[in-house]
Amino acid sequence: MAEVRVPLGDALEMIIAACGLPEGATTALEARFRQLDRMGVPRGRRDRRHARYSYGLTELAELAVAIELMKAYVPPLIAARYVVERWEQFAPCALAGIGDEPPSAFRDRRPDRAGPRAFIAGGALSDLGRRKVRQGRSESPLANVLADPDGAAAPAGSGIVIDAAVFMPEIYRRLRAIPTVRTDDLMESLERLRQSELRVPAERPSGVE
């Protein structure tokens, strides 16, 4: 049993499809991958050889959340900080976002405290932007990411909602469609994503835009 992992080219294709990026965005997205890598996303990466690094379900989920935050006009450094410092709040949402795609044996083990949506208050993001981002860094504490399964925490226009149900099913389906992948391999990938909220990163991202 081994976790399902894909090379850089496949990871780029998956994120483009899952996050609804335009065709021809591969070069720009690869540059974003490099930028996010310098800032600590994916969180568990230790091998610095970009082209040879492989991506599992957890890394793809982290990158997708960062890209979705940037699509909502969150600066890359702040988006990376949210993934690194608040992943324990995003991870259950990412897992829930896969929906009923996983095997039934795994669905019963998912956390039940969160739905696929997460909410960040707009005022907190504006405050971060005013304080430090213009200087290329942000040392201000991040606002909490609130689980928002019913939409009750996210009044229209007041913040950012990351809906993992939009992008996680596509990522999972593409991993599952790899001809050599077995059910046990998918279970290993899902279990690693489930446990990823417990893994504290070694250091905060310190890159600049």
Taking the domains of the chain in order of start, what are their residue ranges?
8-198
Q: What pLDDT does 102 receive?
A: 86
pLDDT of residue 12: 97
pLDDT number for residue 46: 56
Residues of the chain where predicted confidence (pLDDT) is lower than 50: 132-136, 202-209
- Concatenating the DSSP letter of every residue in 141-185 gives PPPPPEE-TTSTT--TTSEEEEEHHHHHHHHHHHHHTSTT--HHH
* Predicted pLDDT of residue 159: 81
Instruction: For residue 119, list its beta bridge partners.
Output: 146, 161
- In this prediction, residue 205 carries a pLDDT of 42
Distance, CA of 101 to CA of 46 (rounded, Å): 30
Would you state the pLDDT for residue 130?
54
